[in-house]
Amino acid sequence: MCQIFAGQPTENYEPERRSIRLSGYSTSIQLEKLFWSILEQAAASEGVPLPKLISTLHDEVIERHGEARNFTSMLRCCAMIYMDRSMAESGIRLTVPSGAPEEVPAAAE
């Protein structure tokens, strides 16, 4: 099992910092390259550029919760939810903790 995790290319978990505009302010977000890749796929599936997806997510979090505490962690969770939804379409289901968004489809039985 360690080869699956420890043997992955180091590029997957190298941090990458990207500049983005959130709520009218320029900032930067640092995520591992693998998460950037998944978020790019999510943006493409929504038909929007990645900066637009991230900005929309930020605005929605502010609207819903009043603040965007630990936004980078929220983006990582968004990437995992996107992967879960993608895998569910193939009949594969990740374990998603209770409280996950209702939009996440149930696995085909």
Res 87: pLDDT: 87
Q: Per the domain annotation, does 35 fall within a domain?
A: yes
Give 15-44 as a DSSP string: EEEEEEEETTEEEEEEEEHHHHHHHHHHHH
Residue 97 lies in a domain: no
Q: Which pTM does this prediction carry?
A: 0.80
> Is 44 inside a domain boundary?
yes
CA proximity to 35, closest of 56, 15, 53, 60: 15
Cβ neighbourhood burial of 77 (10 Å; 0-12, 13-18, 19+): middle
Average the pLDDT over 6-33 and give the result. 93
Residue 69 counted as domain residue? yes
More confident residue, 43 or 84: 43
Here the CATH number for the domain that contains residue 42 is: 1.10.3990.20
Q: Assess contact for 15 and 32: CB atoms under 8 A.
A: yes
pLDDT digits (tens, 9 = 90+) for 35-74: 999 999 999 999 999 999 999 999 999 999 999 999 999 9
Structurally, the chain folds into a number of domains equal to: 1
